[in-house]
Amino acid sequence: MKKFFKQNWIYVIGGIGVLILFSLRFCNLTLLPVFADEAIYVRWAQIMKAEETLRFLPMSDGKQPFYMWVTIAFLKFINDPLLAGRIVSVLSGLGTLAGVSFLSFLLFKSKKAALFAAIVYSLSPITFFFDRMALVDSMLAMFGVWTFIFAYLSITRERLDCAMIAGFSLGAAWLTKSPALFFALMLPTLWLFAKSKRSLIKVIPLTFVTVVIGYGMYNILRLGTNFHMIALRNLDYVYPVSHLLSSPFDPLKPFLLQVWQWLVMMGPWPLIVLGVIGLVVNFKKNWKQNTVLLIWFIAPIVIESEFAKVLTARYILFTIPFLIIIASSAFNSLSIRWLRITSYVVLIIFVVQAFIFDYYLLTNPSKANLPRSERSGYLEEWTAGHGIKEVSIYIQEYQRANPGKKIIVGTEGFFGTLPDALQAYLNRDREITVIGVGLNFTEIPISLKESFKAGNTTFLVINDNRFNGKIEGEELKLISSFPKTKRPDSSYQSLLLFQLK
């Protein structure tokens, strides 16, 4: 042990430093308000926890349930539902961190590359941001990396057990989110690592085993009653193949430009530079490794850009680990002095930019240099849940001050940020009922009026841009207003809490 530490003390200390950097993801984990999809996923997990017959509930909306299954376990000992869901993502990010470092070492046989891959993953704002969100994408990225690792081991070592484990990882990815299909389709690229042409006879069946196990696990979902909804809902997000012939550059071109912006801002851009250096440095010696990694990074992005109807930064998160591994290979073998100096200078710039970005994510997300599309969705518009937790606390305190009093809370919409987030926060209070009452109305919904007439304490929670009535009318009393982050033009939305009177 003493000998090992003496020979590898730099990497041991570096590994400890990486874990310290990664642990920052746990700080202020609920500072960013709940996002629309987070509210839905966490609420599903609560319902599935309470009712065993609804363990396939997400399939009613065409979503796979694996993330929610895992979240159920954390809801058993964490009271804050948003915190429980986000911790699942942080731990998924930890699994991706381990995978990125291990895969870098496997491919390049370099401890230095493995350490730098871990450092870059820990600090990169795009991974830092989404590893702290109660979304399925961090889990998908983790299973994607480990599918690659075990499939690679099954091919290079011709081992059935590794092929089977790769299948389990692929199956878990498939049970998490539909883009896991990319992993299955790209597995044949790993045949490039076969020892010889003759060994292909052995490794091709191993890849077949991996896919069969993965698809077999995916078919567990047939136990649910809404398996068909996954395919139907996927059609809502992607164009048919014929789109390639009718409009090949729309939305391909604008989406690719958008992806470039995300990488430049949230990578941030030095990550791309390191990736280019990595490709140049390893052009001859490790061309197989970088070719396969480049395919696993670029191919899904191009295909999504061509066929996706909507594309956001989190949809490409599962490709980022492979870009990071390419970037880490820049430090694999730097015999040219000017290239070595350039790489370390770019790394320093990356660290400084990433630290600043991550610092704001931990302390004041509104100051973080988020791309316009992401800033709008997570901080400014109806999808951002500013004030929802505060509303739940107010209603809970009101209920405690008035024990036995039935409380009805009406919210805008029927699905999403409201009412799901409020239902998640008030899940334990049986005297409080949260119901959706619609959108864009000028008068108090009839259901809330009837609730008030029946003697219930009745509240209305709604974003101001969806309320066209009088804020202080004869029937409504404004309790509080919770402003969201300001837009570039200084305008902003607010969440309003009313009580019927």
- Residue 241: C-alpha distances to residues 1, 250, 307 (Å): 57, 13, 8
Confidence of residue 282 (pLDDT cuts 50, 70, 90): confident
- Rounded mean pLDDT, 279-306: 93
Q: Which residues have a Cβ under 8 Å from the Cβ of 244 and sit 6 or more positions away?
A: 306, 307
Residue 177's pLDDT is: 97
Q: Which residues of 256-267 are buried (b: 16+ CB within 10 A; e: fewer)?
A: bebbeebbebbb
Confidence of residue 97 (pLDDT cuts 50, 70, 90): very high
Contact 224, 59 (CB under 8 A): yes
Q: Which residues of 360-391 are buried (b: 16+ CB within 10 A; e: fewer)?
A: bbbeebeebebbeebbbbbbbbbbbbbbbbeb
Phi-psi map region of 109: left, alpha, beta (phi>0 left; psi -120 to 50 alpha):
left
Say how far apart CA 237 and CA 178 lie, in whole Å: 11
Confidence of residue 49 (pLDDT cuts 50, 70, 90): very high
Confidence of residue 283 (pLDDT cuts 50, 70, 90): confident
- Residue 26: C-alpha distances to residues 81, 82, 113, 390 (Å): 15, 13, 26, 21
Say yes or no to pLDDT of 270 above 90: yes
Lowest mean pLDDT among 117-121, 295-299, 343-347: 343-347
Element (H, E) at 139: helix 137-156
Residue 358's pLDDT is: 97
197-234 pLDDT, tens digit per residue, is 889 999 999 999 999 999 999 999 999 989 999 999 98
Residue 471's pLDDT is: 65
Say yes or no to pLDDT of 5 above 90: no
Residue 106's pLDDT is: 96
The mean of the pLDDT values for the chain is 93
Contact 422, 394 (CB under 8 A): no
Say yes or no to pLDDT of 335 above 80: no
- Rounded mean pLDDT, 352-362: 97
Q: Which of these, 480, 385, 470, lies nearest to 425 by C-alpha position?
A: 385
Residue 334's pLDDT is: 66
Say yes or no to pLDDT of 180 above 70: yes
DSSP for 54-106 reads: GTTGGGGGT---HHHHHHHHHHTT-S-HHHHHHHHHHHHHHHHHHHHHHHHHH
- Rounded mean pLDDT, 323-344: 85
Say yes or no to pLDDT of 1 above 90: no
| Token pair listed for 47 | 């319902």
Q: Which residues have a Cβ under 8 Å from the Cβ of 36 and sit 6 or more positions away?
A: 377, 382, 383, 385, 416, 417
- Rounded mean pLDDT, 43-68: 96
Q: Which residues of 169-186 are buried (b: 16+ CB within 10 A; e: fewer)?
A: bbbbbbbbbbbbbbbbeb
Say yes or no to pLDDT of 443 above 90: no
Residue 333's pLDDT is: 66
- Rounded mean pLDDT, 374-388: 95
Residue 444's pLDDT is: 87
Could you list the beta-strand ranges (E) of 240-382: none
Confidence of residue 30 (pLDDT cuts 50, 70, 90): very high
125-144 pLDDT, tens digit per residue, is 999 999 999 999 999 999 99
Indicate if the alpha-carbon torsion angle 409, 412, 417, 419 is positive or negative: positive
Residue 197's pLDDT is: 85
- Rounded mean pLDDT, 349-368: 96
Say how far residue 317 (Cα) sits from the centre of its chain.
7
Q: Which of these, 401, 450, 362, lies nearest to 24 by C-alpha position?
A: 362
Contact 30, 81 (CB under 8 A): no
Q: Reduced to 3 states, what is the DSSP secondary structure of residue 345?
A: helix
Residue 247's pLDDT is: 86
The pTM of the full predicted model, rounded to 2 decimals, is: 0.96
Supply the DSSP symbol for 198: T
Residue 346's pLDDT is: 95
Say yes or no to pLDDT of 454 above 90: yes
Cβ-defined contacts of 182-189 (< 8 Å, 24+): 182/144, 182/299, 182/300, 182/303, 182/318, 183/143, 183/144, 183/147, 183/148, 184/211, 184/214, 184/215, 186/295, 186/296, 186/299, 186/300, 187/147, 187/151, 187/211, 189/291, 189/292, 189/295, 189/296
DSSP for 224-250 reads: STTTHHHHHHHTTTB--TTHHHH-TTT
Q: Reduced to 3 states, what is the DSSP secondary structure of residue 320?
A: helix
Confidence of residue 12 (pLDDT cuts 50, 70, 90): confident
Say how far apart CA 470 and CA 473 lie, in whole Å: 5
Question: Rg of the Cα trace of the chain?
Answer: 25
